[in-house]
Amino acid sequence: MLIIDGRRHVTFMKRTVVLLTLGMLLLGILATSLFSGEKEEDLPKFFVRKTKVDLGDFYEGADITYTFVVRNQGKGELHILNVRPG
């Protein structure tokens, strides 16, 4: 971390937030798919266009927002539950 104008400059948080959020989403979809017992062609297919996002530099405590566009490219109904920020 760098000290800039008396405030801590946080650069690692941008990667942490993005990776934890995507990881939780993908883990939930994978667990649902593995334990469902449906045929593979009838399952939902989770798709995110951007898997890496550069949120730039920001100061600790700053409000950062980014919208992940998620699509279902499968035939089954896609349920996304319990999504929380990292």
* pLDDT, one tens digit for every residue, the chain (86 residues): 444 544 555 566 677 777 778 878 877 777 776 666 666 677 888 888 887 888 888 888 888 888 888 889 988 888 888 877 66
Let me know: does 17 contact 77? Beta carbons within 8 Å.
no
* Distance in angstroms (rounded) separating the CA atoms of residues 22 and 12: 16
Residues 72, 76, 79, 85, Cα dihedral to 10°: -30
Q: Is the pTM here over 0.75, yes or no?
A: no
